Chains A and B, each alone.
Chain A
Amino acid sequence: MTALVVLLGAVVAILAVLVGGLLRTHAEILKRLHELGAGLEPSESSAQASPPPTPVTSREDFQVMPQVPAPPDREHFGGAADLVGLAPGGQDAVSVRITGVPHDTIVAFLSSGCITCQKFWDAFRKPRKLKLPDGTRLVVVTKGTDAESPSSVADLAPSGFPTVMTTEAFGDYDVPGSPYFVYVHGPSGRVRGEGTGPDWEQVRSLLEQATVDAGLTTALADQQVSKPDADQAREERIDRELWAAGVRPGDPSLYSVDGATATDEAGGADEADDSEGHGSSAKMGGS
């Protein structure tokens, strides 16, 4: 009997050590996964509470400052488009995706000649001090070689961010002049905010406001009941197939009801439609 107790005690001790080791290992693995960005806990960004949104839809929110261009005279944000052009120096070709991507993008329209732009060129040389929102990509755009000196742009271009020389983008984004900044929500490909300011701090403040606005949508989406894995996988598959077929967020075919589009029925994109659109597009980006 005594031998049995001793034997069982030894077995329990060994098992205790093994369990301890296993628990420790499990913790280490979780830590490692977390470092890889695949932690089991929700990300900080998605867990952060967001203030109620104040959607920006009008030019009235922007003030014209000295030495910066006035916003264009239109009621709504301009369009967003992927960027194709030349790299600084004018020899290399470069394209940057803005729409249909999991991350948001700040498109900075600058010029090598404008005095106000110089502050931004200088600021962009120090990426850490920019305090860009997490997961946001900054892309610098200048006009093409028809309007800019490639060598001047090469001298000014920051090394840490893509710089594209394309005059077309100024038109695509309806940019009134330089400097000008457009904040694009990547998954939906929609402009979330735009404007300008005399320095990066001002512009960042402006863009933060736009981010806050966008946060409402995210917050609302997060409050939804989690879908079963199968549903989520199905949605992702549908998103991928739609994307491959060239059907983008906001495509009229997505909202057609017996031949009429949702836009037709609503007479414009209301907020509810926007929310649904964002939720769906976010998955399209494969986030």
Chain B
Amino acid sequence: MTVALPRRSSEANVEAADLAPEGIHRDPTNHNPLAGGTFAQRLVHRASKALGGRRSSRRSFLTRTAMVGSALAVGPIDFILKPGTAYGYLCGTCSDGWTAFCCTVNSGKNTCPPYSFVAGWWKADNAAYCCGAARYIIDCNATCPTQCSCRCAGDSCDGRRTCCNQFRYGQCHTEIACYGPVVCRVATCTPPWRYDPSCTTSSATDNRTVNHGAPCLTTDCGSPIAKKYAELGGSAGFLGAVVAPEKANSDRRGRVARYQNGNIYWTATTGAHEVHGRILAEFAKQAGVNGVLKYPTSDTRRSSDDKSDYVNFENGRIYDLGTSGVITVPKPYFTKHESMGGVHGLLGYPTRAVTTSKDGKSRYQNYAGGRIYVQGSRVVEIHGAVFTLHESIGGVYGPLGYPISDLAPVGDGRGKAQWFEKGMVFYSPSTSAHGLWGKVLSRFITNGNVRGYLRYPTSEPTDVGDGRGTFAAFERGTIYASTTTDGFEVHGAVLDAYVDVHGGPTGALGYPTSELDPAGTPGGRFQRFEGGTLQFVSDSKVIFTPNP
């Protein structure tokens, strides 16, 4: 029923006058919204006016009779058959005189709808909706010329009307004089001058509205996301206005609200945290909360060295490294990285995303100071001189293969060692890192490794050049090995004689075939070689005996 009734001529004439010079800035084209609207709405208004009289008279009886007739005209069947008052029937649930909340009339959005502007605000103290803090109600008045008509706020009516009350609180957009009726009200715990910078801080209070609510207003108190949003400055903060109101995530575990420049995520265990900017974009690439990282456990933070922003997640961290890009460090890399001191530790900042190795046997992530390998449940880091060495000899495809332990102190108070699939790397500050493998490593281990006579290696096993053997130098000797002989340690005066006098493994002696006899061996101390024997007499005397 949308037949328009002609306005009463007396009212129309009076209100057509432009009252702006008087300081009355109600929309001159719509001075009395209550006189507009549909036939039914106007009947409602007139009926309510009729009921407004406090005294009964013969004339008012006729008016009230007419009101009943109005109700019958608007909906005779419902009016007769449904319980409720005639006034209540006519006015529906939209009869408390206040304007509806925006979420009721603006597709669920708690924001001013199109053709309206933030025109003023008031607060109500001690609001349960805002966890005991003040609650702010922001009026959205229609812009001139008014493009809405006075009506109930729809099927999801919050008990109020829209575009009926031509009232303005006046603290916002004071550069706009003309205003239409209040389209709707925004309820927020964010101070209005932060919600909309056009609002001033001139405070107005109406505590009697503290409990005004609507079914769609669910993001006030009790919503950590709403509180977080408010903490971050609401729509005036870096997140901007609400794009998608808070809703449950499909995992039924958490909730998310989307804003112009970021999101806020919440779970009972993680709390509410924002993610925005390039980190949010990276997070989205990782499938967001449904990906590997899960929910954020921190807001965006700035690193103490001022080189990066980062956000912690349940399963990792995302770094925004500025010009170096945005990199995700997921668990278990994140855990290992943190155990190594994070970005301030030995590994430093990540330099690329997690990558699968070419052999398909591992995934790894590079850092400024090293790398973390993940193979199944094994998570191993490699850094510093060991990492450099490892890379220099072919990395995981070289003689050492994959690291299988982190670099660890060897207990001598001096150096460290790291196990690899096919060898070990020993490190000391004076010798740096050197890897050992094969028969050389076996001998080194047998002889007590760094605690043996040789101490730390000073070279990797190196080909002798004869196509047969290798050797590795140590601080106090050398280990030689060949395809036909095991590895044996040669040191001291015997080594000098072996190399300097007899030409080493390519000389007459060939490769050693035994260790030097220990001190005190009856009959003297001998070391046997493929081509003879060297007898240690003293540091200055070594006797060579060729094989028979």
Interface residues of A (CB under 8 A from B): 17-18, 20-22, 25-26, 28-29, 31-33, 36-38, 40
Contacting pair B68 A33 (CB below 8 A): no
Give A31 to B64 CA distance when docked, in angstroms.
13
Q: Which of A18, A25, A36, A38 contacts B86 (CB 8 A)?
A: A25
12 A-B residue pairings within 8 Å (CB atoms): A18-B72, A21-B72, A21-B79, A21-B80, A22-B68, A25-B68, A25-B71, A28-B85, A28-B87, A29-B67, A33-B51, A38-B53
Interface residues of B in 484-507 (CB under 8 A from A): none
Is the beta-carbon distance between B80 and A32 smaller than 8 angstroms?
no
Tell whether, in the assembled complex, residue B87 and residue A38 are in contact, meaning their CB atoms are under 8 Å apart. Answer: no
Residues of chain A lying within 8 A (CB to CB) of residue B55: 38
- Interface of B, helix, strand, loop or mixed by DSSP: helix
In the A-B complex, list the 9 residue pairs whose CB atoms are closest, starting with the nearest.
A38-B54, A28-B85, A25-B86, A21-B80, A25-B68, A28-B86, A32-B87, A40-B56, A29-B64
B68: nearest residue on chain A (CB-CB)? A25
Cβ contacts B230-273/A at 8 Å (1 or 0 each): 00000000000000000000000000000000000000000000
CB of A39, distance to nearest CB on chain B (Å): 9
Decide: A29 near B54, CB < 8 A? Known: A21-B79, A22-B68.
no
Per DSSP, chain A at the interface is helix
A-B CB contacts (within 8 Å), total count: 40
Query: Contacts of A32 on B, CB cut-off 8 Å?
Result: 51, 85, 87
A33/B56 contact (C-beta < 8 A), A21-B72, A22-B68 known? yes
Number of B residues whose C-beta is below 8 Å from A? 17
Q: Is the CB–CB distance between A29 and B51 below 8 Å?
A: yes
Q: Which chain B residues border A29 with CB–CB below 8 Å?
A: 51, 64, 67-68, 85-87
Q: In whole Å, how far is A226's beta carbon from the nearest beta carbon of chain B?
A: 15
Measured in the bound complex, the distance between the Cα atoms of B55 and A199 in whole Å is 41
On chain A, the residues within 8 Å of B79 by CB distance are: 21, 25
Instruction: Given contacts A18-B80, A25-B85, list 12 more A-B pairs with CB under 8 A.
Output: A18-B72, A20-B80, A21-B72, A21-B79, A25-B68, A28-B87, A29-B68, A32-B51, A32-B87, A36-B51, A36-B54, A40-B56
Q: Point out the residues of chain A lying under 8 angstroms from B68, CB to CB.
A: 22, 25-26, 29
Most interface-central of A17, A29, A36, A37 (chain B CB within 10 A): A29
A36 to B88, CA, bound (A): 14
In the complex, A38 Cα to B56 Cα: how many Å?
8
Cα A33 to Cα B88 with chains together (Å): 13
The distance in angstroms between the C-alpha atoms of A18 and B73, with both chains bound, is: 12
Distance in angstroms between the alpha carbons of A38 and B51 in the assembled complex: 10
Which chain A residue lies CB-closest to B54?
Answer: A38
Nearest A residue to B84 by beta-carbon distance? A28
Please report the C-alpha to C-alpha distance between residue A119 and residue B51 in the assembled complex, in whole angstroms.
45
Bound Cα distance A178, B31 (Å): 54
Contacts of B54 in A (CB 8 A): 36-38
Q: Mark B44-72, 1 if CB is under 8 A from A, else 0.
A: 00000001011110000000100110011
Give chain A nearest CB distance to B60 CB in angstroms: 10
Report Cα–Cα, A37/B51, bound state, in Å. 12
Most buried by A among B71, B79, B84, B85: B85
Complex contacts, A31 vs chain B, CB 8 Å:
85
Neighbouring B residues of A37 by C-beta, 8 Å: 54
Query: Within the assembled complex, what's the spacing in Å between the Cα atoms of A97 and B284?
Result: 67
For the complex, give the distance between the alpha carbons of A38 and B57 in Å: 11
Nearest CB on A from B59, distance (A): 12
Tell me how far the C-beta of B73 lies from the nearest C-beta in chain A, rounded to whole angstroms: 13
**In this complex, what residue of A is CB-closest to B55?**
A38
A26: chain B residues within 8 A (beta carbon): 68
Provide the residues of chain A in CB contact with B72, threshold 8 Å: 18, 21
CA distance A160 to B54 in the complex (A): 27
For B364-387 the 0/1 string (1 means CB < 8 A from A) is: 000000000000000000000000
Alpha-carbon distance A36/B55, docked complex (angstroms): 10
Contact bitstring B64-107, A, C-beta under 8 A = 1, else 0? 10011001100000011000111110000000000000000000
